[in-house]
Structure 1
Amino acid sequence: MSFNLVRLTLYGLITAIDADLRALVRFQLGSSTAIEAIFPADTLAKLRDRAARDGAADDDDIYEYLDFADSAQILRAHKASLDPAIAKFVNVNSTELDRLIPIRNRVMHARPLQFADYSTVDIFVKQLHSYPKALFPRVIEFEERVRENPNFVYSVDISQADQQVDRIPHNLPLPDYDETGFLGREQETSELLAACKSNWPVVTVVGEGGFGKTALALRVAYDLLDDETAGFEAIVWTTAKRTVLTLNDIQTIDGAIQNSLGLIRSASDVLGGVGSDEAILDEVASYLNTFKILLVLDNLETVLDPLLTRFIRKSSGNSKILATSRVGIGEMSYPFKLGGLNSQEAVQLLRLTAKVRRVPDIYKAKNESLKKYVQQMKLNPGFIKWFVSSVQCGKRPEQALANPKIFLDFCLSNVYEFLTADGKTVCKAMIAVPGKQSLPLISYLTEISGDRLQEALAGLQSANILQMSSTLTEAGSETVFQLNELPRLFILRNHPPNAVEDAIFKQRMRDVSTQYERLQAERGANKYNPRVIACRNQADAITAKLLSEALGSVYSNDREKALNLVERAKELDPAFYEVYRVEAWVHAHTDNPAAAADAYQSAIVFEPRSAPTRYWYAGFLLRAAHDPDGAREQLLVAEGLDPDSAAVLVELARVEMFLGHNAEADGRLQRVFHNPDVSTRQQRVAYDTWCQVALRKASAFFDEGRYSDSLSACQDVLTRFRSVPDELLDERIVSTGKRTLGVLSQLADQLSLSSLLPEVQRCYADIEDIRFNPVANIKLPFSSRGDATGDLALLQRIGTICTGSIDRVNVPKRYGFIRFEGDKRVFFHFSAFPHALTFAIPGNEVRFTIVEREGRPAAGEIAMVGSQLAAEEPSQPGWIKSVFPDKSFAFLTDSAGHDYFFHRSNLAARVELESLNVGDRVTFRIGQNHKGPVADDVRPHPSELIVVGPSSPAGADV
């Protein structure tokens, strides 16, 4: 649905007036009068019902649900209680307020504007300046912003205005006469309405091109839409416009309906028909005969043929066909002839159009001069509007009127000639990449941004070359821009992009598509990674690039750059929820929790269905705001949106644990354990949380004096620990198990004389015996590491340097054995052998030092010996290309564009594969395995390193 300058301005002013009136009611009456005394019972019930639908339970909130008419009526009813200045305003402007109500409804409910709407609002606003500014601060602010920057009005978001559910279904478009409103033709409107309510089955508005046949039919259709007495059950609009007049000929509009069958099929599509071409005529006729439908056929002269005649004759029920045509369609129709405007109306249209478009040479001219102009233009509304556009762009009126036969092409030529360079660049880009385009995409294609882009778009809209509209998306609505059809054809013929420009625009569009596909792939890999931006469409990839750079700046501790990038993204797409999610992340990392909370809430308002956003907000509430209840509320919503997400389930289990909801926590963790697609990292966190749940139960039971239950919980910790799969065990899980010793020590003191003491001591001993070292796998069978006698002999040689050869290795578990001094073998872990994946090959000769690890001998400080050890490759930068944690490998790309494979075992010490994300910068060395070159010693680039502490935002571990 398209919006122009006048509707946007009226929306801004009326919204401001509405808000100021609500504020007057609240602060003049709400602070001193009981709410039941302020509002009539029916009004109060209506307001509470509106508030309840939005989840607002407090009566203090219901003032925000006052509509324009309610506010005016309440102020009138209580004017005796108002301050003198406000009481004076109410007395003087009571009638004017009533006049604004239908204007407000037309603006807010997407109805055609009337001729006097703009001037009525403008006069009312000017009268407000005679009252104290404090009474109408929002109106004053809006005027000042428009005065400072006339293009500000184009930033007004009107897409949420039309919240009305119409009485009957329809597909009526907004008319193109919004900038002046529907002027004159009151008698014609009344007569056409009467004709549509008469017994005539078909009414045709007939007249020359440009006389406003479509405008009148649309005005009447909207009147019938709101007229309950008309009795229509639906209104269907379809147009057969397919040609336009140009300099020398008539040109065909691309993709237009070419025959009556196409016109009837268009109506069938609106009515939900699915029939074949042969059945379409009968299908639509059946609809018209069964229901009372108003079918509007615009530009009917282009598709007149016998098939259409047969269709009209078959549609003889209660429905009505309203057509527009340059020629009559015969005896079956009531012809409603439409001529040009009368002289007075034409002058009014010319003056008002010039005033709206800021052409003072015309709107300040005398009536006699304007009458001459409109007579030369044959009182044609279409010609008048294009004439104003031509003068607006710098032509003298006499030049514009020199050849009235070619006014359309002449006006377009003049308009284009006086466009700015930026405006012409936008036109060329939209020729090369046709269709409806968003602001971010236009900015990327043209490399024009900020105020320059706003000024270019404002100029194109003012010249009627470009139209702005709101289109529905999965996430709601989106503002898009599109060349109007006539200017598009004109530019395509006369000023198209050259071959180089066309190639550049198309390549940039391909780049956007590539970026979008990459982002979609990253999101598919792990949408709960905070560095992954969720795109709604291809155009979002442009904004996402800025947001990704902002996140990178956060991790580089460049707060100012991060916030600047977020503001640039917000400027491009202020309704994109990821902008606010990233803004929240920036504020959370820079110790501004209040701003972070506000940004998270904005993100949720724009996209309440994003489970990752709820997840990150919950993490923020839990860690930064210390609000586990709020975190649980967000995570429950996230669970409903994404019930199988391990990230959500683990985080929710941890919150439930903190709140003491242990059974709920265990239940969600079990769902994680039974999910085969959960990553290794999430499994480890889940098992650690599972052990923590039992540990917290043990502590809670002890504090309550329930010592037997506390012991049982401690034993449950041990049972759960022993259930952890070997490959998932890590230091954190072991640390959780060891913390149980503190509770057991306290139990031993309390149960020193109890029969339970042996159980306490046994549990303590079992947990105390837990050993873990990342060098020597805890669950590795002792027999494979040598017998006890051999271990004792080697322990006596700690520090001895030996040589031997690699005997065997277990690459997935990152350990192996070295054979030396005949039949002796000693265990080693890959972390003790630089570039182990490259050089830990059976038969390779190594030098090592015997060391002690957890009471057992092991090889340390391992290095290749002899000519086998090549010069170590220097470290070089790269970027993560793809990660497959479940398969324990990944790929990276170096600065020359070469891709390298690497395994989990090629990571530097203390680097987890799950911590790497697509696009992360890393350093690496080139190594070798049995298949060829691989990346080795992979570690995050210094610019990617961040410190995670207790105040880390959502996503960090508690």
Structure 2
Amino acid sequence: MAGVQSGLRPEDLLRENDLLLDFCMSNVYGHLSESARSVLRSMQVLPGRRSQAELAFLNEYSAGEIQTSLLELMSTNFIQMQGTSTDQATESTYQLADFGKQYLDKKHSVGSLQRVMYEGRSRELSDLGMRLQAESTASPYDPRTLDIQGPGHFSTARLLRDALRSYDRGEADEALLICHEAQMLSPGYHESWRIEAYIQTGLRDVSSARAAYERANEISPESATLCYLYGSFLVNEGVDPGLGLKLLQSAAKLAQVPPAVANEIAWAHIQLGDFDAAITSASHAITLKPDSYEGSVAMAIGMRAGVYEAEKRVANAQYESAVEMIEAAANLADSGRSEMLVGEPADRAVQLIDLSERLLRRMDDDFLIESLENFSARLKDRLRATDPALVERRVGTVTRVLQEKMYGFTRSWGRDYFFHVKELLDEGEWSYLDSGSSIAFYPDEGQKGLRATAVRWLG
């Protein structure tokens, strides 16, 4: 109006809008804090929508500082906020308004040194994000791997990586503070909460870990990796194996999962006492072509389930059904490579052979007797193929343990054997040994009497 009153044409004023821009924006810009102006400069140099976390990284601000600056700018016409949806969450993004951009470009252009600085920070963030994404692709089910959906998560993922490094150095409090900073910067990013859950689990704060996992799951219920990690936590910590199994099964439905997920499902079934389902899941894990380690885990879980279920059926005089379970275990042993039977799986096979021989004494059905002899022979063949010495292993029942003297006795096939804690393959299992425990061992008839060597606790 002032321009028209001075004799200028309205169309000229709208086309050449310097006066309008100056009138509307200069007074506002003059009252902005320097931190808010810095945010505007970063948005001038790097146009487009930016997350709160990105802007914090570009300006080297904390979560509190960037939130204060953005709130200040939101009260002006300089920036616009919009909710951006990803596959799993909604996150607010910010960009310069057209009117504000015109004013800044004409009245407050960014100097070359500052432009180089912001562009360098942007490249640094992109390079870091690409490395983290590559790690995520290589091992997505590793609990230390960060799931990154896009550039908006790069800077928060950097913080979470720093949190993991602090935790590794024994600085747990600092690690949790970094997680909380990440949660303030990216409240809709599930990994900000999942990494806290991982750290809290390591600190044995199960309650806080579960709360963090629940928050992560609320944000990203369709993440197969999160379902696997949260489900594993619930099963392995004994918090809620039933819910853990459901989450693990959801992971298997959401994505093509590795053998590790099938193994966790099998383990969850064991925790819930469903040994039939456990051996089925372990057998499925073997079909997924696992490496030697995961294959050995599948074998250990499946063979253990076979022992538990067969013994339960024998105790209930369900002999025919027990033979069927021994057959399932023998089939599992045949399905994997020999190296997968090393360790606990081999001793579980020894346990099944021992059970078969005891069961033979109770049966008079020729077909079942022949079947049992066949399954026992197959298991022995698998042991010989793995290590011929394994057929010498025996199963015994612990009769007495003297904890203070660190030795005990076991009975096997009518003979008593002495063992010392040093004979355990894993001395950490010593605290589990008690009267009635089952162990596997090599018998040794030395000058001092019968001894059990290379002892493994079987439960």
Partner of 2:309: 697
> For the residues of structure 2 that align with 1:751 and 1:475, how far apart are their CA atoms?
58
Q: Which amino acid aligns with 1:453?
A: I
Residue from 605, 623, 630 that aligns with 2:218 = 605
Does 2:387 align with 1:778? yes
Does 2:194 align with 1:427? no
> For the residues of structure 2 that align with 1:431 and 1:779, how far apart are their CA atoms?
73
> For the residues of structure 1 that align with 2:169 and 2:315, how far apart are their CA atoms?
45
Residue from 186, 204, 215 that aligns with 1:573 = 186
Does 2:299 align with 1:687? yes
Equivalent position SS for 2:151: coil
Matches within 5 A, 1:108-187: none
Contact 1:554 1:589 in 2 (8 A): no
Residue from 69, 75, 79 that aligns with 1:466 = 79
TM-score (norm 2): 0.72
Partner of 1:517: 130
> For the residues of structure 1 that align with 2:120 and 2:46, how far apart are their CA atoms?
10
Residue from 730, 740, 748 that aligns with 2:342 = 730
TM-score (norm 1): 0.37
Partner of 1:623: 236
> For the residues of structure 1 that align with 2:359 and 2:29, how far apart are their CA atoms?
88
Q: Which amino acid aligns with 2:362?
A: L
> For the residues of structure 2 that align with 1:463 and 1:492, how far apart are their CA atoms?
17
Does 2:64 align with 1:451? yes
The Cα of 1:671 is off from its aligned counterpart by 4.2
Residue from 156, 160, 177 that aligns with 1:564 = 177
Partner of 1:249: 16
CA shift in 2, pair 1:623/1:670, >3 Å: closer
Equivalent position SS for 2:387: coil
CA shift in 2, pair 1:554/1:752, >3 Å: farther
Contact 1:566 1:579 in 2 (8 A): yes
Residue from 510, 526, 530 that aligns with 2:143 = 530
CA shift in 2, pair 1:473/1:711, >3 Å: closer
Equivalent position SS for 2:145: coil
Equivalent position SS for 1:527: coil
The Cα of 1:742 is off from its aligned counterpart by 5.7
Equivalent position SS for 2:238: coil
Deviations 1:218-255 (A, max 9, x none): xxxxxxxxxxxxxxxxxxxxxxxxx9968x9247xxxx
> Identical aligned pairs, as a percentage?
25
Equivalent position SS for 2:81: strand
Contact 1:245 1:408 in 2 (8 A): no
The Cα of 1:643 is off from its aligned counterpart by 4.7
Equivalent position SS for 2:77: coil
> For the residues of structure 2 that align with 1:639 and 1:648, how far apart are their CA atoms?
7
Contact 1:751 1:757 in 2 (8 A): no
> For the residues of structure 1 that align with 2:338 and 2:218, how far apart are their CA atoms?
44
CA shift in 2, pair 1:591/1:745, >3 Å: farther
Contact 1:691 1:717 in 2 (8 A): yes
Deviations 1:539-569 (A, max 9, x none): 2011112222323334444321221111111
Q: Which amino acid aligns with 1:690?
A: G
Matches within 5 A, 1:868-947: none
> For the residues of structure 1 that align with 2:286 and 2:86, how far apart are their CA atoms?
37
The Cα of 1:422 is off from its aligned counterpart by 1.1
> For the residues of structure 2 that align with 1:751 and 1:557, how far apart are their CA atoms?
58
Equivalent position SS for 2:44: helix
The Cα of 1:431 is off from its aligned counterpart by 0.8
Partner of 1:550: 163
Partner of 2:403: none
**Where does the alignment leave 5 or more consecutive residues of structure 2 unmatched?**
4-10, 390-441, 443-459
Deviations 1:321-346 (A, max 9, x none): xxxxxxxxxxxxxxxxxxxxxxxxxx
> For the residues of structure 2 that align with 1:472 and 1:754, how far apart are their CA atoms?
66
Q: Which has the higher helix share?
A: 2
> For the residues of structure 1 that align with 2:338 and 2:149, how far apart are their CA atoms?
41
The Cα of 1:606 is off from its aligned counterpart by 0.8
**Where does the alignment leave 5 or more consecutive residues of structure 1 unmatched?**
1-206, 210-242, 252-405, 781-853, 855-958
**What is the RMSD computed on CA atoms of the aligned residues?**
3.5
Kindly tell me the number of residue pairs found equivalent between the two proteins.
Answer: 382
More deviation, 696-705/438-447: 696-705
Q: Which amino acid aligns with 1:778?
A: D
Partner of 2:421: none
CA shift in 2, pair 1:245/1:726, >3 Å: farther
CA shift in 2, pair 1:244/1:728, >3 Å: farther
Q: Which amino acid aligns with 1:734?
A: A
CA shift in 2, pair 1:553/1:764, >3 Å: farther
The Cα of 1:757 is off from its aligned counterpart by 7.8
Deviations 1:73-119 (A, max 9, x none): xxxxxxxxxxxxxxxxxxxxxxxxxxxxxxxxxxxxxxxxxxxxxxx
Larger radius of gyration: 1
Equivalent position SS for 1:567: helix
Equivalent position SS for 2:148: coil
